[in-house]
Amino acid sequence: MQFESWQAFIEMGGYGFYVWLAFGVSFLALALVVVQGLRARSKLEQEFVKEQQRQLRLARRKQEVS
């Protein structure tokens, strides 16, 4: 460990603001892209379910008509 205390670790030899800003925003950007990918996936699954239900409705209507 290069730092003697948590305080020194946070301060980063006076560059704390810059170091933690860089790391914080990078982490945030990566977290956002992961979450967005997962949300896109669940949206696709919902779309798939909707499509299945639509197909089912269409099939039923066809039966009713004939």
Residues at the site binding other proteins, with contacts judged by CB under 8 A:
1-3, 9, 12-15, 18-19, 21-23, 25-26, 29-30, 32-34, 36-38, 40-41, 44-45, 47-48, 51-52
> Considering the complex, what minimum distance in angstroms separates the CB of residue 56 from other proteins?
12
- Shortest reach from residue 62's CB to other proteins, in Å: 18
Nearer to other proteins, 51 or 58 (CB): 51
Instruction: Tell me the CA end-to-end span of the chain in Å, nearest whole number.
Output: 79
Q: Yes or no: say if 30 and 36 are a contact pair by the CB < 8 Å rule.
A: no
| Residue 6, CA distances (Å) to 1, 3, 25 in order | 11, 7, 21
